[in-house]
């Protein structure tokens, strides 16, 4: 396989790579009932603080076919006032998940209970090399800051944690 790919010109190799990514996306969508995956994630994908848990892979039912699962990414925002909130969202390949071309689907719901805000569940295909950052932050007096970042990379169909970092108050904003 590598020898065949090695013979391709740059444009042809890029087309093969894009076709492979498209096939992985189609398999992820064909994985099954996306409504059921999202409904289950809204039930179990959020902590007591109302923020999303870390992402996970929901395995596909494609009979062992690689790329038939989806990455489930809960995220959300919990607000006490218009200028103060806590939030946790996923960035995909250095782009917010809701802006990513890899996004299969995202559903949002208002927060249950007293606090304003929302919860969201986004689904991504399992694409080797994809990088995810789970970014936790807060806004105080309208100034937003990042508290913690947990980074992952998709390797061999697995979501592998590659780093965790706590951001000091004088750090990233």
Mean pLDDT, contiguous 10-residue spans, the chain (173 residues): 76 72 61 82 92 90 57 94 90 96 94 82 93 94 90 94 82 45
Q: What pLDDT was estimated at residue 24?
A: 59
Q: What pLDDT was estimated at residue 172?
A: 44
Q: Which two tokens stand for residue 46?
A: 């959020």
The span from the CA of 164 to the CA of 133, in Å, is: 9
Burial-class residue 113 by CB neighbours within 10 Å (0-12, 13-18, 19+): exposed
Q: What pLDDT was estimated at residue 119?
A: 95
The span from the CA of 149 to the CA of 160, in Å, is: 14
Torsions phi, psi of 128, nearest 5? Answer: -55, 130
Q: What pLDDT was estimated at residue 63?
A: 44
Q: What pLDDT was estimated at residue 113?
A: 66
Q: What pLDDT was estimated at residue 171?
A: 46
């Amino acid at each position: 396989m590598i020898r065949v790919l090695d013979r391709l010109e740059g444009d042809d190799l890029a087309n093969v790579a894009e076709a492979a990514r498209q096939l992985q996306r189609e398999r992820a969508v064909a994985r099954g009932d996306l409504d059921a995956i999202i409904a289950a994630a809204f039930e179990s994908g959020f902590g007591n603080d109302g923020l999303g848990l870390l992402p996970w892979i929901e395995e596909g039912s494609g009979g062992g076919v690689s790329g038939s699962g989806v990455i489930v990414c809960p995220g959300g925002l919990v607000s006490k006032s218009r200028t103060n909130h806590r939030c946790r969202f996923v960035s995909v390949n250095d782009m917010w998940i809701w802006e990513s071309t890899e996004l299969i689907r995202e559903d949002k719901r208002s927060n249950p209970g007293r606090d304003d805000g929302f919860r969201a569940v986004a689904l991504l295909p399992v694409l080797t090399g994809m990088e995810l950052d789970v970014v936790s932050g807060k806004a105080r007096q309208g100034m937003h800051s990042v508290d913690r970042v947990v980074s992952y990379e998709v390797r061999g169909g697995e979501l592998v944690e590659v780093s965790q970092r706590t951001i000091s108050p004088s750090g990233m904003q």
